[in-house]
Structure 1
Amino acid sequence: MSSVPGYPIRGVRVLGYPDESAFLDDLFGPHGVRTGMLAAVNAEKIVAAGRDLVLRAVLDQADYPYADGISVVRSIRRKYGVDLDRIAGVDLWQSMMERAGREQAKVFLVGAKPRVLQAVREKITAEWKVDVVGSQDGFFDDADRPDLFQRIRDSEAAIVTIAMGSPRQEIFAAQCREIHPEALYMGVGGTFDVVSGQVRRAPLVWRRAGLEWLYRIGSQPTRIGRLRRVAEYAGYHFLNRL
């Protein structure tokens, strides 16, 4: 468990890491990779957690909830006067894999289409010498979970990353850690699609402006429904209902 202070936004705790580097240094402690569960927190997820009790429970269980969305960062600055940077999940995961390669931490990958998963596995093995001790694409039944959890435990993975979308990936992590508690779990959403080149990430100028979410909606129209939750969160922010 982190000693970094937490800042609740509409009841969802967010740890106040000043930047990605500080977060990584905490996760990779002096005695190896810490155990526990990460949770990326953004505006959409905070709004959804207000209605979805399962998602809310999973976020409450997270050991390392971090500010993945720029709206959350701005809300923390507004409510608490704390200056911190957004920690983008895609960037954090890639930095984590690079660090895992350097420190020879075992990694297990879960989720995505088979060809995407294979491309990610090959990339991080070649680029960062990551010790990938196992993988499983996202096409499996609930009945297969106990066997998969056992595979992860038998692999002795120190880091388990799950690309299944929220809240499925967080629920998977919460269930798996009951079988294999000696690991750090991170849900990564569509990160594997970005890393494998299947999905183009927003240009840097969009990211620096805090508009990566808008670029993703524009490039993936199926996400347009999420604008409603973003707009609802904006109302909470500007009306000081945080």
Structure 2
Amino acid sequence: MSSQEEEPPIYTLRGIRLAGFANRETFIDHLTARGGWLPGMIVAINAEKMLTAEWDPQIKALINAARYRYADGISIVRAVHRKFPPVRLERIAGADLWEGIMQEAGRTDSAVFLVGGTPEILQLTADKLRQRWQVNIVGMQDGYFNADEQEKIVTRIAASGAEIVSVAMGSPKQEIFMRDCLQVYPRALYMGVGGTYDVFTGRVKRAPEVWQRLGLEWLYRVIRQPARIRRLIKMLTFLRWYLRGDL
């Protein structure tokens, strides 16, 4: 077994097991080390998702059912550094990981199925992926469907032969959908990507790189969308865990 195929170190915070990939490239190399995409679900973990899992055992079980959970939020990275010194874990932003996976999918002609977003944003995402990286889009489904339609959508995904299923429906809705889809069609890699399609197509502006490097992308989003302040207030619980060493 090559080093790329070896499982990453695991760091546990509040019962959630995080995969300690050194960076985005290492993660993608691992996912493709055996000549194809490893099947299963990968889930981004930030402080808000960890709080939700703490208060909802079903969500926690759903998250832990994923093959890999990775540190998307800077607060999670700093918590790992504090709890497991001298380990140094790099933040892997979900949007960056998704773009890296899409680029590799284009290079290897891997079949990709896109789920989520409005019909317009979904089409723009597919067009840009084809133009930029020649991604082989084998199917699409916007995020505006009801529970009665899900079975048919899952059947379409399975029939498409998709190797990667990208799901932009927000959390925990996207994790629930991926779990249900995985039970029917376990051969694909499933990735929940939240609002990544909006950022990729330019509908939503991402924080400048300097803000990202400083770990202040969350603050940039709050400044641009003041309604997020309520979500930020909830983070005080996470801060308390961090300061008390309760992670």
Q: Do Structure 1 and Structure 2 share a fold, with TM-score over 0.5? A: yes
Worse-superposed segment, 209-218 or 89-98: 209-218
Q: 2:17 aligns with which of 13, 17, 20?
A: 13
Q: Which residue of 2 aligns with 1:32?
A: 36
Aligned to 1:238: 243
The answer (yes or no) to whether the contact 1:2–1:64 under 8 Å persists in 2 is no
The normalised TM-score by structure 2 is 0.96
CA distances 1:115-152 after superposition (whole Å, capped 9, x unpaired):
10010000001100000000000111110000000000
Rounded Cα–Cα distance in structure 2 between residues aligned with 1:153 and 1:202: 36
Residue equivalent to 1:219: 224
Contact 1:48–1:229 (Cα < 8 Å) also in 2: no
Query: Is 1:42–1:67's contact at 8 Å kept on the other side of the alignment?
Result: yes
Describe how 1:124-203 pairs up with structure 2 within 5 A: 124-203=129-208
Q: How far does residue 221 in structure 1 lie from its aligned partner after superposition?
A: 2.2
Question: Partner of 2:18: helix, strand, or coil?
Answer: coil
Q: CA deviation at 1:2?
A: 6.7
Per-residue displacement from partner, 1:2-42 (whole Å, max 9, x unpaired)?
Answer: 71121111111111111111101011123211101001001
Amino acid at match of 1:115: E
- Which residue in 2 is equivalent to 1:45? 49
Task: Select the residue among 57, 63, 80 that pairs with 2:61.
Answer: 57
- Structure 1 vs Structure 2 CA RMSD: 1.1
Q: Give the total of aligned pairs.
A: 242
The Cα of 1:53 is off from its aligned counterpart by: 2.1
Question: Is it true that 1:84 corresponds to 2:89 in the alignment?
Answer: yes
Residues 2 and 40 (structure 1), Cα distance of their counterparts in 2 relative to 1, 3 Å cut: farther
Distance of 2:176 and 2:115 partners within structure 1: 13
* Mapped partners of 1:126, 1:18: distance in 2: 30
The 1-side partners of 2:234 and 2:24 are apart by: 26
Normalising by the residue count of structure 1, what TM-score does the alignment of the two structures yield? Answer: 0.98
Question: CA shift at 1:52, angstroms?
Answer: 1.5
Is the 1:98–1:128 Cα contact (8 Å) retained in structure 2?
A: yes
Alignment correspondent of 1:70: 74
Structure 2 portions without partners, runs of 5+: none
* Partner Cα distance (1:199, 1:182) in 2: 32
SS of the aligned residue for 2:55 comes to: coil
User: Runs in 1 of length 4+ with deviation above 3 angstroms?
Assistant: none
